[in-house]
Structure 1
């Protein structure tokens, strides 16, 4: 599952890894993730997004490329149930979301300036989305 920030006009800003053949000891796991990432892996690039297969970091994609055939989920914030849910499956958060204007400002800032090195377990798309929504890093 990918996490991102919908910014309007059919676009999503999100954090991803570049398509690579091998990434250290995680190569098999990244191969699986690559198959469900936001860029087209079937021949021709998206008419809206172009070829984003070599891009990594914070990128902007059309919602169709972001979903890549998957389902859309809305993450809830300021939800007490988050206290009993494990960190690995963040279906909600006990943190409150900031206003849409602040969330969008953070997402666009990170699109221009990056979000650090991608780390599957410690700095990933969910961490990016939660930071954009709340201004807080969850470790």
Structure 2
């Protein structure tokens, strides 16, 4: 798994960043330019914006970011600057349409066999979910940041990271996870 530079990012990329010594990853959709609402309710357009899905305690920022206004009190679908998304960690780009063998050999939460929609559709989906804050309640096992990002990219909310933790890697893990989600997290 190789990190990428900021300059290599393209709007519509599903990006992720390691947390807690890479025990898990935080996922989001890089949108490039985006309008953020700062703590004084002033709107400002920023470059390097990311739309991602946060639960309680998923951000370490104590006070609002001067650049984008993000603070740890905001949960749900949010838009932040890339720095707030990364929290001083490296950037990785999630791979789509990988061969099954690669999926089995890669760390879960870094790629999928699913194909991605075109970038403009991905961005439109992410902004629509942001505007409506309509991705439900955050839950690590059934509705998390990877579910959000893969939904934006494919139309299907899935988390290979959670599948690997709960049910094992590769197709058996993905099948187990989707059965689990279908039983416990019906929308």
Give 1:137 shift: 2.3
Give 1:119 shift: 0.6
Bigger Rg, which one: 2
Q: How far apart, in 2, do the equivalents of 1:51 and 1:77 lie?
A: 29
2:97 matched residue in structure 1: 78
Helix, strand or coil for the counterpart of 1:102? helix
Give the gaps of 5 or more residues in structure 1.
20-33
Give the gaps of 5 or more residues in structure 2.
1-24, 33-46, 159-177, 179-187
2:30 matched residue in structure 1: 6
1:16 matched residue in structure 2: 54
Encode CA deviations 1:30-70: one digit per residue, 9 max, x unaligned. xxxx4xx3x523xx421122242111100000000110011
Give 1:96 shift: 0.5
Structure with the bigger percentage of strand: 2
1:31 matched residue in structure 2: none
Q: How far apart, in 2, do the equivalents of 1:50 and 1:18 lie?
A: 17
Structure 1 residue ranges, 4+ long, deviating more than 4 angstroms after superposition: none
Question: RMSD of aligned C-alpha atoms?
Answer: 1.8
Give 1:85 shift: 5.6
Q: TM-score, normalised by structure 2?
A: 0.59
Is 1:47 paired with 2:66?
yes
Higher RCO, 1 or 2 (CA under 8 Å, sep at least 6)?
Answer: 1
Alignment coverage as a number of residue pairs: 118
